[in-house]
Structure 1
Amino acid sequence: MLLRSLNSYAITHGGDVDDAVTVGDVVLSRSDLLGAATSVAERIMGVDRVAVLAEPTARTVVAVVGALIAGVAVVPVPPDSGPTEIEHILADSGARGWLGVAPEHDGGLPAVPVRMHARSWHSYAEPSDDATGLVLYTSGTTGPPKGVILSRGALAAGIDALAEAWGWTVNDTLVHGLPLYHVHGLVLGVLGPLRLGSRVIHTVKPSAERYAAARGTMYFGVPTVWSRVAADPESAAALSHARLLISGSAPLPVPVFEKIAALTGLEPIERYGMSETLITLSTRADGERRPGWVGVPLRGIETRLRGEDGSEVPRDGESIGSLEVRGRFFDGYLNKPEATAACWTEDGWFRTGDVAAIDPAGFHRIVGRESTDLIKTGGYRVGAGEVETAILGVPGVREVAVVGLPDDDLGQRIVAFVVGDEVEPRSVIDSVAQQLSVHKRPREVRVVDALPRNGMGKVRKNLLE
């Protein structure tokens, strides 16, 4: 049962009990949420899929929960999507209409209103674990976004594995301000609390000040958020009461990890996952936390590394290879059987497309995407992440992205795009050469005003050239 805590509440309680969900200034008790969401479910029962404009509002939460109660698959749509992207998502997903607010470019589909004060206490049978819960669209950096089909059972298993690793219980209050159309903000940040029974406070915007004002025990953020917190010592100090500070969606720079730890007394939890697999790796609440490493496999997950020739890569903490994982994952890309098949090995492992190193204790370090972060230069294989970590230690550097650009002599030359104050390119090159092997130094450093990022804060390296 995916929404376990709400279903349990419906059986055992009556009346308003707690502030289960807070989004900005709107507070919903479990009774509020269950009653409003069940009212939504009554009006869409029997529909296959609905689109939800995933604005950071309580209405979005009610819409998603209502659809899940009805057994209707939810297609979250980023609120900043342009007409072309919306048209693609609607056509590809087969969504029958909008649930809640529809965007200006609504694709000609009808909208079913979400009435926040409506209430229904009808009880519906729980759909099977194999039923589709969400269709999440990827960021589309290498082509049109693909619809990732996630079953209710996979969502539940992923949340439960994190609960075990993080010691996440009904006594926690989760705070975050992340988008509600991806795994991080929606699955972990909303469905997680509703499954486990903990409270959630969504700050609408993930600012350091808003995080500091919310008295939570767990905080979610992407590296950009934690960089802002690290730059605001007063707000950072206000988080020292928390139990866990959790970073994901992109690598957390080591200097930010160290500054957060110094200001709060808490070493951040880092984790790794994908829309297709949910979260597969994490440092544990009761275990070691290393800057630059994303921990060990969650319960039910297996991992392995493979070289270019398919051979096994040793787990020595240094050798890098293609990361493959095995567990209960997505049910494929919607309408794309060939793309789905290409993701899997013949013996049933999912190809993540990421490059990693694993140490003898099972700790994982993600080097980056195989397509953009594995640089083949002068006969060497260099991970962009390792070079980026070294550059972030150079005084004045705030952000960096390292890519391999075509080179007639080297195959690819290492180029660093740096955001910072009074950064001297020569000093960056020399610093890396002193910290790492000489062949890993950038051949070129370009100082830029900003790095191109997507809605989750990930750098879009395909735009750097």
Structure 2
Amino acid sequence: MHVLTGLCDGTLDRPDAVCVADRTLSGEALLGAGRAVAADVAGAGVVAIHATPTLETVVAMVGALAAGVTVVPVPPDSGVAERAHLLGDSGAELLLRTGPDALPPSGVPEVPVDVARRSAVAPPPADPDRLAMIMYTSGTTGAPKGVMLSGAALAAGIDALAAAWAWTPADVLVHGLPLFHVHGLVLGLLGPLRIGSPLRHTGRPHPRRYAAAQGTLYFGVPTVWSRVAAEPSAARALARARLLVSGSAPLPVPVFERLWALTGHRPVERYGMTETLITVSGRADGERRAGHVGLPVDGVVTRLVHDDGAELPRDGVSIGELQVRGPMLSSGYWRRPDATAASRTVDGWLRTGDVAAIGADGWHRIVGRASTDLIKSGGYRIGAGEVEDALLAHPAVREAAVVGVPDDDLGQQVTAYVVADGVSARELAGFVGEHLSAHKRPRRIHFVQRLPRNAMGKVQKTLLT
């Protein structure tokens, strides 16, 4: 059965099709358990899944997608108000419970998931063009919006990455990412099910668990890779892998270089968002460049646009908003035609809201979000990521985040927040000045104990200023 209507045939005969935190299901068992869940939710329109990092969540996802219902992943750490918004806004009719304890009352009937149940009755094939999933954004600019993803879009996104990464049933995927984001859920769960490669989810992305998993393909966010690089014995164990992939946030150049030194692998970076899935990536058989996310995947075209709407040159220097087209793009925002219209240009491109530069050879470098990472200071357009990389190159700096703070004279002032030991603000500003143009040097540097990050390791810059 197709991954988006059940389980890929390639995993059916595997005794270790899916392993989550040392609990394993064979392909046959996963198929039978998923069919039991499909029977539970048959006839519903929208079904929410409490997306814990468990086998129960895997079975729930397989079953709900097999039944052809629309799935809404609910983060397990969501508060009462956030959960109420996701369930109410989506119109969820059922909530699949993947843990032993009842959830706080939400008004939505709960259905517990039991991985020991089996059914031999296959649901009818689902329409690939149906609304397969509503994934909610992080809500950094208001209440979370539901991103509508069809079965066809999910399949196109996975297939494009399979081609880029030479991902086959012979691979064994390892990761410990949350199962409610694109990275961990679409790439990290639906991906191996569609392709037919076993999945070993480590429960938590601890370096030693990654090292012990003995996979060929590893997924991680920069925070995970930074921790792996900080444990040389764990990192060296990954030398046996075929490919290391980093995403969800920019991988700092020093982490890229340390992983390369310890594992012999240059990590593949890729770029995407909930609204687009993955549209740009490095290739398994191609070059990997630190600080760059590669080339558009199959079926995707990109362009850079200035604030005034003019298309920018591909010279590796000009930075502007990245706009994309491709078969894996979402169909818009759930019950938000206003937001859907605002996210598209009149000629059909999706506005990512991210700032990038594209070289003459097509390689993409992501600067960051237009709202927080494009700094306009003294008439210059400065990418926060470039300044962050320069700060991270200093041996005393462990973490860095750069933002633009309103300034009466400059418009915005380049301001840095760093986690560092034994170095002064003046020394760091001078260090950046040795590597970058003078106008990119931080005017103010704040030393902090840690940077605020979300579940995927992205720095929440709105909490810094």
Q: TM-score, normalised by structure 2?
A: 0.97
Alignment of 1:425-444 (within 5 A): 425-444=425-444
Match of 1:463 in 2: 463
- Is 2:174 the counterpart of 1:175? yes
- Is 2:72 the counterpart of 1:75? yes
- Distance in 2 of aligned mates of 1:423 and 1:89: 45
Spell out structure 1 runs of 4+ moving beyond 4 A.
4-8
- Distance in 2 of aligned mates of 1:18 and 1:309: 57
Alignment of 1:49-88 (within 5 A): 49-88=46-85
Amino acid at match of 1:358: I
Deviation, 1:61, is 0.4
Match of 2:358 in 1: 358
Gaps of 5+ in 2: none
Amino acid at match of 1:91: G
Amino acid at match of 2:68: G
- Distance in 1 of aligned mates of 2:95 and 2:366: 38
- Is 2:461 the counterpart of 1:451? no
1:369-415 residue CA offsets vs partner (Å, 9 max, x unmatched): 00000001111110000100111011210000000011111111010
Match of 2:326 in 1: 327
SS of the residue aligned with 1:340? Answer: helix
Match of 2:207 in 1: 208
Give percent identity, aligned residues only.
61
Distance 1:104 1:113, change over 3 A: closer
Match of 1:48 in 2: 45
- Distance in 2 of aligned mates of 1:71 and 1:28: 23
Match of 2:416 in 1: 416
Which deviates further from its counterpart, 347-356 or 110-119? 110-119
Alignment of 1:124-135 (within 5 A): 124-135=123-134
On the 8 A contact 2:32/2:119 being kept in 1, the answer is yes
On the 8 A contact 1:139/1:145 being kept in 2, the answer is yes
Q: TM-score, normalised by structure 1?
A: 0.97
Match of 1:367 in 2: 367
Amino acid at match of 2:194: R
Please, which of 25, 29, 34 is the counterpart of residue 31 of structure 2?
34
Match of 1:246 in 2: 245
Amino acid at match of 2:215: G
Deviation, 1:106, is 3.6
Distance 1:277 1:369, change over 3 A: same
Amino acid at match of 1:294: V
Deviation, 1:423, is 2.6
SS of the residue aligned with 2:240? Answer: coil
SS of the residue aligned with 1:69? Answer: helix
Distance 1:421 1:54, change over 3 A: same
Amino acid at match of 1:308: D
Deviation, 1:254, is 0.1
- Distance in 1 of aligned mates of 2:248 and 2:157: 16
- Distance in 2 of aligned mates of 1:189 and 1:106: 30
- Distance in 2 of aligned mates of 1:314 and 1:25: 50
Amino acid at match of 2:58: V
SS of the residue aligned with 2:332? Answer: coil
Amino acid at match of 1:260: L
SS of the residue aligned with 1:406? Answer: strand
- Distance in 2 of aligned mates of 1:261 and 1:103: 45
Deviation, 1:7, is 5.1
- Distance in 2 of aligned mates of 1:162 and 1:17: 23
On the 8 A contact 1:4/1:196 being kept in 2, the answer is no
Match of 1:25 in 2: 22
Deviation, 1:9, is 3.0
On the 8 A contact 1:2/1:152 being kept in 2, the answer is no
Which deviates further from its counterpart, 126-135 or 33-42? 126-135
Amino acid at match of 1:376: K
On the 8 A contact 1:375/1:384 being kept in 2, the answer is yes
Match of 1:149 in 2: 148
Match of 1:294 in 2: 293
On the 8 A contact 1:404/1:412 being kept in 2, the answer is yes
Match of 2:113 in 1: 114
Gaps of 5+ in 1: none
Deviation, 1:4, is 7.0
Amino acid at match of 1:312: E
How many residue pairs were aligned? 462
On the 8 A contact 1:249/1:272 being kept in 2, the answer is yes
Deviation, 1:5, is 10
- Distance in 1 of aligned mates of 2:353 and 2:102: 33
Deviation, 1:346, is 0.4
- Distance in 2 of aligned mates of 1:103 and 1:454: 25
Amino acid at match of 1:21: V
1:122-162 residue CA offsets vs partner (Å, 9 max, x unmatched): 12222112111111111111111111111000000000000
Amino acid at match of 2:397: V
SS of the residue aligned with 1:240? Answer: helix
1:310-361 residue CA offsets vs partner (Å, 9 max, x unmatched): 1111101111111000012111111110001000000000000001000011
- Distance in 2 of aligned mates of 1:17 and 1:401: 44
